[in-house]
Structure 1
Amino acid sequence: MKDKGLLRIILCILIIMLLTSCWNRRELNELAIVTGIGIDKAPDKEEYEVTFQIVNPSSTATSTGANTGQSTTTVYSTTDRTLFGAFRKTSKKTARQLFFAHTQLVVIGEAFARSGINEIFDVFERSHELRLNSTVLVSRGVDANAVLKILLPIESLPAIGMVKKAKNTAKIWGENKNINIFELINEITGEGEVAISGIRIIGDREEGKKKASLEQTEVKAILSINGLGVFKKGKLTAWLEGSEAKGTLWVQNKIDQTIVNIDTENMEASVAVHINYSKTDINVELQGGIPVFHVHIQEEGKVNETRGFVDFSSADEIMKLEEQLAEHTKEEVIQSIQAAQRLKSDIFGFGNELKRLRPKEWEAVKEQWDSLFAQGKLDIRVEAYIRGTGMRLKPYMNKDQFN
């Protein structure tokens, strides 16, 4: 019995010695924390140009004396045939190993996006170092490299500031969508096409790189979420703006909140309705070999402002506004679908819906779906309800004062 007990003790000691513990640990002061990644096409090469926005810890620390006058981030760029190769090749320029656990943003350069993006996300799925929930944006008019070099007021880390902008405007304005890498891969591998929000530099790019530009009330350059990029077979083909972009989000059931301005008898776009609920159902069927897109939208909102006289105590006036609201939404949806049909790019997932509901019919038409989508007929139905008028019914000015 004693021999068995001794044997057990020896075995336990051997097992403990074999435990690897923190064999792959990396000290914080040995890491370069990456908050944003930019992907461009290298000039005159069949290579990627990959840009990394890296946190400068001495400038972001909150302790006394941490302000060194340096920028909060540093940007490095490297070219290579593969993205992962560029990740590792950057070690020639940085004193620390890149650490991607806090990467919030991936920016794709417009020129590169027009050449095709479908293959670039493979490394994000394979590597345990990269995040699939990073927001994706496409730069407009400039390379991704230039976007990541712009410093932002309020937010000390520009990449995080850009992500907040993308999420905020998608939530309360509704002309742009917030999409991450995981969602983008699902769309690429589905039966439809992809739409990604754009980001534009407004102002002086060179001044926007300097920390001194932030030391004034009006900065020299800002980054603005702008437009919705439409892709065809992985290549950026066009940009949707304004009503066409918002209509796209209506169809995709991505509207959380938005504002719709409705006309009155005496003034155009004078009643602001805050949409705080929206739900879209779509159905696709074939009639005589031509697809019919049935889109049913239910929306609710409240009046937040009026520049003309409207008596909101009148049920007839409320019903009239609801009809105008429904018509306005319907028009935006029609504009967006017709724009996509001109591009032969099914960014709404109508093909996915036909495949889900009627798989046999889908098999018969999937090879010709691009041309059939462009010929598709529209059946748009919108139900709009105004649920409130704010803190008062009638405007504080009477009808004569508005004339």
Structure 2
Amino acid sequence: MSDDVLGRGPERQVLVVGDGLVGRTVTAMLQRCGYEPVLAVSDRQRSPPVVVRVASNAMRTLEALDVASHVRDRGTRIDSVQATHPETWAAGTGRLVSTTERTTTAAGSVIDATELRRALAVEWPLERARTDRSIRGVTTTGDGIEVAFADGVRETFDAVVDTTATPALEDRAPETVPTRNYVQYVGRCDREESASQVLREVWAPGALAQVIPDGTASESWVRVTTNRGDATGLTSHPAFEAAAGVDPEVVEEVVRSGESTRVQQVRLGADELQSGVWGAGRIARCGEAAMPLAPAIGSGFSLGVRDAVAFVSELARHEHSTTATIGAYATARRRAVATHHRRARHRQSASSPTEMPRGEPTTEAVTVRRTHALHRFLGSSSDRA
């Protein structure tokens, strides 16, 4: 996001739906460009993530928004990701042979999601933050899109940006993507004093566990994603403790009593991705509202920021009609993700959860590749949304 894009003062009226991290980032970027956006909540406001990963691309955007220093001060730098995953099943024995990899491609920083949202809200306060009302419906008119709020008020906007897959807006989507449902649990555990700034992952059939360093010297986050609500496939493996750095009982306790949420992940099949999932007409979509990729690895915020940068840059750079601008944004995002989708699909049989080919260190490349890996590891038995 460059200053030549950020420095222009446009007149379009934009409504951003979703008072989460991506929604707050979109409104901050619009304000930085000179817009005066309106923020509203969604009637499908999901539980926010407890801890969020900030990739290098997202950190650059937060730098432009004067929030990156807060992430550095209050968050934790991740030097690398160490993944232990099943390489083969010994024929006829059911014995799991593990391979451990370490990469800096998927590294970055982690921060408490509440801290990051608070920093965005403080640095970029909104005069028109309608967080006390949701959207009931929208109607396209000759000069904009009329939004009916739940309290009976109606307002007309040039564009609407959906960041949470709001039902009232989803009904007007020309394209939707099939998804799978997973259950995610988050808790805390004691951290060894000698533990380094390495995010540890253990992949097993049906479950993925992550041990994420926290800013404190004594604790780490534990995040478990499963397709069936348990982590037996993880904790029963004799090498689990050595790979994860925590006792299996800690993970079992997180699953039993930790905060749980349902997360959705797109089904990446053989079909070509359609640009309509990122928006059409006067409605643009960012983050989970467009393409919910690999929520189990915590890349949702950084990928949503990629969408936000692309949308706001397109909106501020050109004087095309709003519909043409949103169409150009959606097409560009489809091309970016589809390229990595095709490459990941072709390599699927040989790909590992973290290993990335040279020349593909982007957020999209990492996330799409690992989305394919999650399909294989978490299996196909989870429910379809």
After TM superposition, the score normalised by the length of structure 2 is 0.23
After TM superposition, the score normalised by the length of structure 1 is 0.22
Q: Which has the higher contact order (CA 8 A, sep 6+)?
A: 2
Question: Which structure has the bigger radius of gyration?
Answer: 1
